[in-house]
Amino acid sequence: MEFLDAGTMVFLLFFGFMAAFIDSVVGGGGLISVPALLWTGLPPVLALGTNKCAAVMGSFTSFVTFVRSGRVDGSLMRSLFPLSFLGSALGVFAVQLMPAEILRPLVVVMLIAVLLYSIFKRDWGRENHYTGLSQRMLLLAGLVSFGLGFYDGFFGPGAGSFMLFGLLMAGFDFLGAAANARTLNFASNISAVIFFGYLGLINFSYAVPMGLAMIAGAYCGASMALKKGVGYVRPLFILMTTILIGKLVWDLI
């Protein structure tokens, strides 16, 4: 591991904390952490691997915090966790073979649809209507978890937001959806770290300090979400989705 200068260290700590704080609640933390790592001069694929290594520390922290709160549906997550893990592993291998740019236009369209639905359906996600899934819906949820896991390992931005959106569609309120989405996101993150590490695509000198800051950010973000409730999560979800759309459109232009 190389030694970092003080300026780079402070830079990684600050943006790591901010990324994990946001990500622990509504996803979209990669919108902050990946550009920060690219700004330091890391090549794109190495930045993705390094980001996943740091992010898994934060996602584990928020995952544990939400599990302790009782907001995670253990039965549902036992079915979906392995699928998100497997999808992410395949995504890591695919990212070396395909240009990530081919996904960006589709992602922008999907995020705009999610945003508009969230804004105009004002009472959506305020109450928990989840009572379980039929066999058909469970199969669909499995395919979505696998697909979003693949996307998270392959590209990443918006994966947590899409996971949260899918759980809202299943009937969870915003807080319950956030808790279970963090569980699926933890699965895809830890899978990506294992395989990025296997391929030698992680810079641990950058990942470790950023990851430590992400632990603190994730704990603060998840704790605040549990204290503030649905009224806090919904506007933050809308705000981060809007920013994420703007960033991806800017990249396309």
CA distances from 112 to 152, 200, 242 (A): 18, 35, 8
Q: How many domains does the chain have?
A: 1
Task: List, for residues 50-101, the tens digit of each pLDDT value.
Answer: 999 998 998 898 889 888 888 888 888 899 999 999 999 999 988 777 665 6
CA atoms of 12 and 92, how far apart (whole Å): 23
- pLDDT tens per residue across span 189-214: 899 999 999 999 999 999 999 999 99
- pLDDT tens digits, 1-41: 667 888 899 999 998 998 888 877 766 677 778 878 888 88
Say if 171 falls within a structural domain: yes
In whole angstroms, give the CA distance from residue 233 to residue 239.
10
- Residue 28 belongs to domain spanning: 6-252
- Residue written as tokens 């039929």? 134
Number of Cβ atoms within 10 Å of the Cβ of 115: 19
How many other C-beta atoms are found inside a 10 Å radius of the C-beta of residue 95?
A: 24
Determine, yes or no, domain membership for 60.
Answer: yes
Percent of the chain with pLDDT over 70: 78
* CA dist 127 → 31, 114, 177, 230 (Å): 29, 18, 11, 9
What gap in Å lies between CA 189 and CA 84, rounded to an integer?
9
Is 40 inside any structural domain? yes
The whole-angstrom separation of Cα 195 and Cα 177 is: 27
The CA distance from 35 to 49, in Å, is: 13
Residue 1 lies in a domain: no
Which tokens is 112 given?
Answer: 């705009």
